Structure 1
């Protein structure tokens, strides 16, 4: 299913195009006051959300919605010269595919999707370009985005979070958390004593707040300070690794 926005075709010189590009405000998906809705059947206990260029909000749905994935889509877009912009969505097996095509002279598009997933389903998110927000999961959750921030709240299942360019934030009760960014800060607030926390940043600070317990901690930075104030025990089964190439590393007890 595709949604198409008519393109504005005009014969313009290169100078006019440059001027128009400089004056045109960026589209915001939130400007779409009439979003599209669709329900996709889900027969298994895993879901992959495959998006190329969209902000994503992923939430765990009430149990009575078991068996379907509910998707809401906001979209705004225009192209001065070129093909009309188009957004599509489809479901095959356990893979929800979200795509946006927006190219031409002075192309200006933005999309956002909210995906409600039944409880009892493990979710993997692959987003080429866009921020990802997730909340409410008790099952395994894996999020990877090429360019955008990642934030997870109110979650207790195992977490794997990764972005190439953006910050990572998590306020969760998960027992196993892996968080990585190549360019950005990492901040993890754990509300339950974890078995494993593994956090890394290529360029940015790493901050981990933990419930009071004894931890086996490895904290390293290539350029910056290290502050570990939780009780440490090299034989503890609660393992915390915090590393950054450039920035401060802080491992502390939650207030």
Structure 2
């Protein structure tokens, strides 16, 4: 990506290069940034998507290949904002380099994937958003939020760091969540065989369809409210553990 140099700005004796990049905006507004796109031939049944610092949106679509769009904004002093995309085997790597002195450096990748492909998403410092998948889905976010909707695979496996996890319209057989610092809110549309949430510091809100559940809860510092029918012999198991936070298990839409 080429950068045209426009002016040399001096603040307190420190010289900063003000620049604009082709395909980028410098005001941090991704909505106005140019959209670049690329397609990757793909024939696998599982895909791992790794992103670093950029927001990541995964969309199940009626496609046969992997289609990626990216938008970048901001500027770096002395060099381009570097963003990249590469598919090697079943791993799609998406990158954004904001190291050094940068201004409003950010990017967003939108990835369209065949609906029945099992997806594993990993993002170090950026949002993970996913919708529409009918196969297994897993996500690992370090310092950002996870937002999910309309997932109907067999297994949903989530790992959160310092950010919230939200899921709506979830119809899966098993859900496992491991969370460090952040609230967890999940709304399930179908009766699960297993929901297992382990949180260190954060509230857990779980909405379930009407059924009988074997419920196990533990909160070291927090309130616990359970509003579903309980039976310890039920085949539908719900385990919610949190160290510091409230637990609420109810029927209908999570609030």
* Distance in structure 1 (CA, Å) of the matches to 2:152 and 2:225: 27
* Distance in structure 2 (CA, Å) of the matches to 1:96 and 1:232: 43
* Distance in structure 2 (CA, Å) of the matches to 1:253 and 1:178: 19
Residues 84 and 102, structure 1, Cα contact 8 Å, conserved in 2: no
Query: Relative to 1, partners in 2 of residues 1:106 and 1:219: Cα closer, same or farther, differing over 3 Å?
Result: same
1:130 equivalent to 2:117? Answer: no
1:156 equivalent to 2:152? Answer: yes
TM-score by length of 1: 0.88
Residues 75 and 104, structure 2, Cα contact 8 Å, conserved in 1: yes
Residues 73 and 112, structure 1, Cα contact 8 Å, conserved in 2: yes
Residues 6 and 78, structure 1, Cα contact 8 Å, conserved in 2: no
1:28 aligns to what?
29
2:50 aligns to what?
50
Q: Deviations over 1:146-185 (max 9, x none)?
A: 1111011111111111220111011111111112321110
TM-score by length of 2: 0.88
Residue 88 of structure 1: SS of its match in structure 2? Answer: strand
Q: Deviations over 1:187-223 (max 9, x none)?
A: 1111100001111222111011111111111111111
* Distance in structure 2 (CA, Å) of the matches to 1:199 and 1:37: 37
* Distance in structure 2 (CA, Å) of the matches to 1:7 and 1:156: 49
Pairing partner for 1:247 from 245, 248, 253: 245
Residues 9 and 15, structure 2, Cα contact 8 Å, conserved in 1: no
Pairing partner for 2:177 from 164, 174, 179: 179
Structure 1 gaps, min length 5: none
Query: Relative to 1, partners in 2 of residues 1:186 and 1:212: Cα closer, same or farther, differing over 3 Å?
Result: same
Query: Relative to 1, partners in 2 of residues 1:169 and 1:110: Cα closer, same or farther, differing over 3 Å?
Result: same
CA RMSD across the alignment: 2.1
Structure 2 gaps, min length 5: 19-25
2:135 aligns to what?
139
Counterparts of residues 218-229 of structure 1 (less than 5 Å):
218-229=216-227
Structure richer in strand, relative to its length? 2
The count of aligned residue pairs is 243
* Distance in structure 2 (CA, Å) of the matches to 1:50 and 1:154: 22
* Distance in structure 1 (CA, Å) of the matches to 2:61 and 2:211: 33
1:244 shift after superposition: 1.3
Residues 27 and 73, structure 2, Cα contact 8 Å, conserved in 1: no
Query: Relative to 1, partners in 2 of residues 1:216 and 1:15: Cα closer, same or farther, differing over 3 Å?
Result: farther
Query: Relative to 1, partners in 2 of residues 1:154 and 1:223: Cα closer, same or farther, differing over 3 Å?
Result: same
2:166 aligns to what?
169
1:241 shift after superposition: 1.0
Residue 31 of structure 2: SS of its match in structure 1? Answer: helix
Pairing partner for 2:101 from 98, 105, 109: 105
Q: Which range moves more in the overlay, 5-14 or 140-149?
A: 5-14
